[in-house]
């Protein structure tokens, strides 16, 4: 007897567009049946294709990550400075330098590795168990054992364990906000759809990781593990490259230039001394080392790190939690904010904002699920109890409803469907108490909402035996069943054209509409059937429901626009809803938007152009969000991207600053982001941008303060060699000055508050060098002033017959006092410091000056310091000359700033 060939049990994965196929065809292609897969066949597929798990992506070795923290030219310069300082025998100073390097490396090491954490967070969102049909029997198995072709049953409360093509659906609603950003659960169906349907429109699919909020269904597993929608996002997240921040790019360029300049000048100086003044090579080598020590701003990285850390503290006080230190500064250069809609610009709380009856067009006041609020028509306040139709409509909204509203930790929340929650709040705003209303009008029967008939009906009787049938549902379903409409005085024939016009008007505002109707019944009527609601309903009115924008976010968008920052909204919602919210937020023109399918038709060049012109993007998938961020960056924009779902994680990671929601955000989004908003409020982003600009200002002020000091010290040595004179300041004394001023004077600038015009400026150019032409001029100008003061006083003392130790003591004190006065100049980049605020506005600066004066008194008069640094006591007249030099430097710098302000006014006039 000839053997019968084994049936082909492998699924025919010809088309991945499962939503475009009929359910029966999906069963055929996956070689399964309505009884599910045979157990042996399922085990074979599991062996061939692997478990339903997201793949582990190997992260970078910890030692390698730690070693890379030192791969920075400024770190190399600091290490060289530490080696030189050690060679000079100043072990304490060398320890400070090496300590700065190690602290910076540890901070970077701890903050890195977010990609691996984000992937772990995505993996944790997968369902651990699944109810599957195999060999015709229902069984619970670990979700990782699911294979393509399995039949899975899901119901309310379940997390979908794999991507499913639904083929039996009973009133299924799935919360897909993590993938689509939509605030309302998606109502599912079984029919085949167009192949080009956007992710949010695929009503016959349930995706892995999403949450079933209502109903039940059976679906065919069409994708597992890395092939699922959440698996694709995980893969995208692993592939996204994190960009350098503007500050790290600028610091790298600055360090390279500074290193080159120091080495060239030190070498030329040594050659000059040997060739012109015939100094010995060993002597010139030590002079070159001293020059390098003077020129290297070894305290600058520590000051920048501390300034960033202070920015982190300030932002935390304004509900913006920073996860990665350089993001603080990057916020200051943000030119475009790409914001998710749901929960960020809006409250993620459905709310009835309009009620239309036959006689009135009513606006509903209030916020989200908070039941405090009222009604108005134009400027006129309304009372629900004085409008019988409005009161009955609100009662219908409350009684034909299965949701509940409760308060938790001061926040109003809904238990049940968000739309029903909005209707419950509407009834409470009309002064109706849910518990009391349900006692007065007891529900005697119910037709629950199902996607097939798209309405819900509730039959209620009062204690006198009067009965009312309340019906709510889609207007296109309810209106044909109504022959009359309820007016304030009586029932009149239904005016179909009027209601159609109202529906179109609400739709243009992006509102979801429901119709509510009523039908009287009698005391003996106990069972509610579909025939009872097929006709003779009386229309009470329409309600318009929307996820309302945050008032504070509207103001924040306006502030961003004033600061030259463009806000773009990227959402999974429909274009009409997105445009309507955009108008309310001040984003876009209310007419122009791009949808996901339209983006798919564009190549990268076309998108690069369009992304600058359009501000509202609808029906956006994770790939679309990532492409939009990348296209904006191709236009040299610095991007902050907000989001809360898994679908946002790749774009959050790609953006210059990823901003995740702290309350509603998924762990995947938080791990992929640099910043987390503790209050989920767009307004906190605007506050963070202000703090970021302040941080960058303070870093610039620190650089403008530190570099003239180093430049002056280097020029002093250069001048001494050029003139063939003795060094006014020794390398050891230079290290002393650098150490005490860096940890006192320079550090105080990190505490400067924002300048008045900080949010009136356009975003700074992220590719501009750290040192502008003006900054180079200021550094050179102040360096020359310091050289003149220090060298002049040193030569004065020598001409008066003072010994070398006393002359050098005067020179060192002149250097420090000059810095103390210049610190007051540095508090404002261009504004005058000759004001009460300029002189006394920063208590940290005054404290730093007092500490420096104390240190210098010890340096000058304490015997141990005199022995260590070869200093000598100086008299009062020397101190007067030193103070006069400091005051003169302060005045000259203020005159220079005044001339710059005058020139700028002339340029803009």
C-beta separation of 566 from 335 below 8 A: yes
Classified as helix, coil or strand, 817 is helix
Lookup: tokens for 858: 């010890």
Burial of residue 285 (number of CB atoms within 10 Å: 0-12, 13-18, 19+): middle
Tell me the angle at which helices 229-239 and 622-634 cross, rounded to the nearest 10 degrees: 20
3-class secondary structure, 308: helix
Given 150, 163, 227, 340, which residue is catalytic?
Answer: 340
Are 73 and 256 spatial neighbours (Cβ–Cβ below 8 Å)? yes
Handedness of CA 68, 74, 76, 81 (dihedral sign): negative
Spatial CB neighbours of 435, under 8 Å, sequence gap ≥ 6? none
Q: Are 151 and 220 in contact (CB under 8 A)?
A: yes
Q: CB-based burial of residue 251 (10 Å sphere; 0-12 exposed, 13-18 middle, 19+ buried)?
A: buried
Q: Name the CA radius of gyration of the chain, rounded.
A: 36
Active site residue 196: no
Among 393, 381, 380, 347, smallest CA distance to 543 is for 393
Of 750, 864, 871, 845, nearest to 313 (Cα)?
750
Residues in the chain: 909
719 vs 789: CA distance, rounded Å: 13
Q: Decide the pairing of beta strands 657-661 and 675-677.
A: parallel
Distance CA 109, CA 106 (A): 5
As a whole number of angstroms, the distance between CA 293 and CA 295 comes to 6
Q: Give the integer Cα–Cα distance in Å for 510 and 508.
A: 5
Extended strands (E) in 607-701? 616-618, 639-643, 657-661, 675-677
Q: How many CA atoms lie within 13 A of 71 on its CB side?
A: 6
Which of the residues are catalytic? Answer: 340
């Amino acid at each position: 007897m000839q053997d019968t060939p084994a049936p082909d049990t492998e699924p025919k994965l010809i088309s991945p567009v499962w939503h475009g196929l009929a359910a029966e065809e999906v069963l055929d292609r996956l070689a399964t049946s309505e009884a599910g897969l045979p157990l042996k066949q399922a085990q074979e597929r599991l062996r061939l294709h692997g478990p339903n798990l997201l793949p582990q992506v190997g992260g970078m070795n910890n030692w390698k990550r730690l070693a890379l923290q030192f791969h920075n030219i400024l770190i190399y310069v600091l290490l060289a400075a530490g080696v030189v300082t050690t060679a000079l025998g100043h072990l304490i100073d060398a320890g400070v330098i090496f300590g700065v390097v190690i602290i910076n490396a540890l901070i970077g090491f701890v903050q890195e590795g977010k990609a691996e954490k984000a992937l772990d967070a995505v993996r944790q969102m997968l369902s651990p168990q699944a109810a599957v049909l195999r060999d015709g029997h229902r069984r619970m198995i670990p979700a990782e054992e699911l294979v393509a072709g399995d039949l899975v049953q899901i119901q309310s409360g379940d997390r979908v364990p794999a991507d499913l093509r639904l083929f039996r659906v009973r009133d299924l609603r799935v919360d897909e906000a993590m993938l689509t950003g939509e605030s309302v659960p998606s109502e599912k169906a079984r029919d085949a759809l167009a192949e080009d349907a956007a992710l949010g429109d695929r009503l016959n699919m349930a995706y892995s990781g999403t949450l079933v909020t209502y109903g039940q269904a059976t679906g065919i597993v069409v994708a597992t593990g890395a092939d699922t929608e959440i698996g694709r996002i995980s893969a995208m997240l692993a592939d996204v490259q994190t960009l350098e921040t503007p500050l790290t790019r600028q610091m790298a360029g600055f360090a390279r230039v500074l290193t080159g300049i120091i080495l060239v000048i030190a070498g030329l100086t040594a050659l000059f001394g040997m060739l012109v003044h015939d100094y010995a090579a060993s002597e010139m080598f030590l002079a070159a080392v001293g020059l390098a020590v003077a020129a290297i701003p070894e305290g600058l990285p520590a000051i920048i790190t501390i300034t960033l850390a202070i920015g982190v503290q300030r932002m935390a006080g304004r509900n913006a939690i920073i996860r990665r230190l350089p993001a603080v500064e990057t916020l200051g250069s943000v030119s475009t904010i790409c914001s998710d809609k749901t929960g960020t610009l809006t409250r993620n709380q459905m709310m009835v904002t309009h009620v239309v009856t036959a006689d009135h067009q009513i606006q509903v006041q209030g916020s989200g699920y908070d039941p405090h609020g009222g009604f108005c028509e134009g400027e006129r306040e309304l009372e629900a109890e004085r409008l019988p139709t409005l009161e009955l409509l609100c009662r219908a909204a409350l009684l034909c409803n299965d949701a509940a509203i409760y308060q938790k930790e001061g926040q109003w929340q809904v238990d049940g469907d968000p739309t029903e929650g909005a209707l419950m709040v509407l009834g409470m705003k009309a002064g109706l108490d849910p518990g009391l209303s349900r006692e007065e009008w007891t529900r005697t029967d119910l037709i629950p909402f199902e996607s097939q008939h798209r309405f819900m009906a509730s039959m209620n009787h009062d204690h006198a035996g009067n009965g009312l049938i309340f019906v709510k549902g889609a207007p296109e379903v309810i209106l044909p069943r109504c022959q009359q409409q309820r007016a304030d005085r009586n029932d009149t024939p239904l005016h179909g054209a009027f209601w159609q016009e109202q529906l179109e008007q609400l739709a243009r505002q992006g509102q979801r509409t429901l119709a509510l109707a009523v039908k009287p019944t009698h005391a003996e009527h106990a069972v509610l059937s579909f025939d009872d609601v097929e006709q003779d309903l009386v229309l009470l009115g329409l309600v318009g429901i929307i996820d309302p924008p945050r008032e504070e976010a509207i103001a924040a968008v306006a502030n961003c626009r004033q600061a030259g920052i463009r806000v773009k909204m990227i959402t999974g919602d429909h274009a009409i809803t997105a445009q309507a919210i955009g108008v309310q937020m001040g984003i876009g023109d209310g007419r122009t938007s791009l949808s996901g399918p339209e983006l798919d038709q564009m190549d990268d060049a076309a998108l690069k152009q369009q992304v600058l012109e359009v501000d509202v993007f609808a029906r956006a998938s994770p790939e679309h969000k990532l492409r939009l961020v990348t296209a904006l960056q191709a236009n040299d924009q610095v991007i902050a991207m907000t989001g809360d779902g898994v679908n946002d994680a790749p774009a959050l990671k790609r953006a210059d600053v990823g901003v995740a929601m702290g309350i509603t955000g998924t762990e995947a989004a938080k791990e992929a982001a640099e910043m987390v908003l503790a209050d989920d409020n767009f307004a906190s982003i605007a506050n963070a941008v202000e703090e970021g600009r302040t941080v960058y200002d303070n870093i610039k002020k620190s650089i403008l303060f530190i570099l003239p000091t180093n430049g002056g010290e280097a020029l002093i040595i250069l001048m001494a060699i050029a003139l063939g004179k003795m060094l006014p300041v020794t390398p050891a004394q230079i290290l002393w000055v650098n150490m005490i001023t860096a940890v006192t004077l320079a550090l105080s600038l990190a505490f400067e508050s924002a300048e008045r015009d900080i949010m009136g400026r356009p975003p700074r150019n992220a590719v501009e060098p750290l040192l502008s032409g003006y900054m180079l001029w200021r550094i050179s100008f102040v360096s020359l002033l310091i050289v003149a003061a220090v060298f002049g006083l040193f030569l004065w003392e020598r001409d008066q017959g003072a010994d070398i130790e006393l002359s050098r003591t005067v020179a060192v004190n002149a250097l420090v006092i000059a810095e103390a006065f210049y610190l007051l100049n540095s508090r404002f980049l261009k504004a005058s410091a000759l004001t009460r605020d300029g002189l006394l506005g920063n208590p940290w600066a005054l404290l730093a000056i007092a500490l420096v004066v104390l240190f210098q008194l010890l340096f000058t008069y304490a015997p141990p310091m005199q022995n260590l640094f070869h200093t000598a006591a100086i008299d009062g007249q020397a101190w007067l000359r030193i103070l006069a030099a400091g005051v003169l430097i302060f005045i000259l710098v203020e005159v220079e700033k005044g001339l710059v302000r005058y020139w700028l006014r002339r340029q803009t006039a």
